[in-house]
Amino acid sequence: MSRSAHPAGPRHADVLPEGHYSAPPADLNALDPKVWAETVGRGEDGVVTVGGIDVKRIAEEYGTPAYVLDETDFRARARAWRTAFGQDADVFYAGKAFLSRAVVRWLHEEGLNLDVCSGGELATALSAGMPADRIAFHGNNKSTQEIRRAVEAGVGRIVLDSFKEIVRVAHIAQELGKRQRVQIRITVGVEAHTHEFIATAHEDQKFGIPLAGGQAAEAVRRALQLDGLELIGIHSHIGSQIFDMSGFEVAAHRVVGLLRDIRDEHGIELPEIDLGGGLGIAYTSDDDPREPHEIAKALTEIVTRECEGARLRTPRISVEPGRAIVGPTAFTLYEVGTIKPLDNLRTYVSVDGGMSDNIRTALYDAEYSVALVSRTSDAEPMLARVVGKHCESGDIVVKDAFLPGDLAPGDLIAVPATGAYCRSMASNYNHVLRPPVVAVSDGEARVIVRRETEEDLLRLDVG
C-alpha cells in the first residue's frame, strides 16, 4: 500500500472514541526524554539515533523486532542508584526485570549486587562472574536443588519465604557444613497502589510470612534456633510500578516494629533490613517518577526516624530496583506491516512482533507510547492502536497512541521503556521467535542476547 493510498483514519478530537489517551501531542516528532533512553535523539535527517547509531542501520543489521538497549544509560542509572544509597546501604539489581551475562558484568563493574529468583538466574549470574557473596536468592517455592546450589556457591543471602523453607535451608546448610546468611521475607499488610497482579504486601497472597497474628515473630524464633542459619535481617517488598512513598513508609514502620519486638524478646538487634524494589518509571509522558537520590533520601529518613522511635541502631538498608534501572534504557524497534483504518474508531497498525515480545499490555493493561523513528512527518496525527502478529485480538502493544497519518508499511516505529519485563517475559507464542537484545554505546552496537532461530525452536522439539 502506498503512503497516500489508505483512507484517512480518525484524526480529530471530536471523532475520537473512548480510550486512555489525552489530546494528540503538539509535535509528533518530539521524543520526550522522560520515556526515551538517555542517548536517544533525532539526527539531522530525522532518523532516530541511540548511542550514536541510527535505527535504520540497527534494523538493517540486526533485523526487527529488536530490543535496543542503551548501555550508557543502563550504567548511568545503576551508578545513580549506587551513589544515592552510598556506602551504608546495598543496591541489589532485580534480575527478573532483565538479565543477561553482559548485564551481570555491567552491574559488577558499577558496584551493584544482584537479586536472583531461580536456578536459571543464579546460573546466569555465576557464569558471568558475579561474586556469589553479592547475590541474594529469592523465591516463594525454591527447589531443594536450587537451595543446595545457592548454598554451595556461597550466596550472600537467601531470603526465606515460608516456615518449610526455614528448616530446609538450615538442613542443607548443615549438611554442607555451612552457616547460611538469611533474611525472612514478611508481608506487612500494605495495599500498594498498583495493579493487583504486581502488589505483594497485602496478606492474601503467596509471598512471604504474614506479620499479622505473630507469624513473622514465630518464623524469627525458629530461624534463630537453627545452627545452619545466620539471620541477618527482615525483608519486605510491597509491589511494583509504585510512585507513592507512603506504602514504603508503612512497610518500614512495621518492619522496624518487628525488629524492636525481636530485640525485646531475644536481646538482639538484627543488622539489616531490605525494602525490596518496586519504584515506578515513566511509560508515558503522564508518569512522574522520582530520582534515585530522592528515593534514597526518603527511605533512609523513614528508617532512621522509625529506629530512633524504637531506640534501635539504624540497620543497614538494602533495596532491589529492577524496572527503575533497566526499564527506561531500552526501546523495541518494529517494522510497520498491515495498516487498517476503521472509520470513526482508530487505525490498527500491525507490527512484526506483539504480545510475544511485550505481554505487559495484555497482562496488566499497561500503557506505552510509540513514535515513528525512521523519519519525521508533518502529517496530521491519527489515533492508532499498535498490534502484533499473533492470533488473538488481545495482542496489543500500545492501546491508544497518536502516530502520523501518513504512516506506511516499511516504516520503523519504536516503543520506549521496554527494558524491564519485556524480554524477560517474552514467549514463543505462535512459534514466533524471540527478538535479540542489541546493546549500543559510543557508536557501537553489539548483540548481547541473539535472536531466536527456528533451529532453537526445533532443538527442543524431540518427539
Q: Tell me: does residue 421 bind ligand LLP (CB under 6 A).
A: yes
Q: Tell me: does residue 198 bind ligand LLP (CB under 6 A).
A: yes
Minimum CB separation of residue 238 from ligand LLP in Å reads: 10
- Contact present, 72 and 41 (Cβ < 8 Å): no
Q: Which three cell numbers stand for residue 271?
A: 543488622
Q: Which of residues 17-56 bind ligand LLP (CB under 6 A)?
A: none
CA distance linking residue 134 with residue 111, whole number of Å: 10
Whose Cβ is closer to ligand LLP: residue 306's or residue 320's?
320
The residue within the footprint of ligand LLP, chosen from 276, 292, 341, 354 (CB under 6 A), is 276
Q: Tell me: does residue 323 bind ligand LLP (CB under 6 A).
A: yes
Q: For the CA atoms of 121, 122, 123, 126, what is the dihedral angle to 10 degrees?
A: 120
Count CA atoms within 13 Å of residue 52 on its CB side. Answer: 7
Minimum CB separation of residue 279 from ligand LLP in Å reads: 6
Q: Which of residues 83-102 bind ligand LLP (CB under 6 A)?
A: 94, 96-97
Q: Tell me: does residue 240 bind ligand LLP (CB under 6 A).
A: yes
Q: Which three cell numbers stand for residue 372?
A: 515513528
The residue within the footprint of ligand LLP, chosen from 142, 237, 254, 399 (CB under 6 A), is 237
CA distance linking residue 137 with residue 116, whole number of Å: 5
The residue within the footprint of ligand LLP, chosen from 56, 82, 134, 138 (CB under 6 A), is 138
Q: Tell me: does residue 134 bind ligand LLP (CB under 6 A).
A: no
Which residue carries 504486601 as its cell?
201
Closest CA to 456 of 422, 433, 430: 433
Maximum alpha-carbon separation in the chain: 78
Whose Cβ is closer to ligand LLP: residue 241's or residue 332's?
241
Residue 76 has φ and ψ, to the nearest 5°, of -65, -40
The residue within the footprint of ligand LLP, chosen from 278, 381, 388, 416 (CB under 6 A), is 278
Residue 412 has φ and ψ, to the nearest 5°, of -100, 130
Minimum CB separation of residue 221 from ligand LLP in Å reads: 23
* 117 counts as catalytic: no
CA distance linking residue 194 with residue 281, whole number of Å: 12
**What are the beta bridge partners of residue 402?**
383
Whose Cβ is closer to ligand LLP: residue 56's or residue 96's?
96
Q: Which three cell numbers stand for residue 61?
A: 543489521
The residue within the footprint of ligand LLP, chosen from 10, 228, 247, 277 (CB under 6 A), is 277
CA distance linking residue 393 with residue 114, whole number of Å: 37
Minimum CB separation of residue 396 from ligand LLP in Å reads: 15
Q: Which residues bind ligand LLP (CB under 6 A)?
A: 94, 96-97, 115, 138, 198, 237, 240-241, 276-279, 320-324, 360, 364, 420-421, 425
Residues labelled catalytic: 391
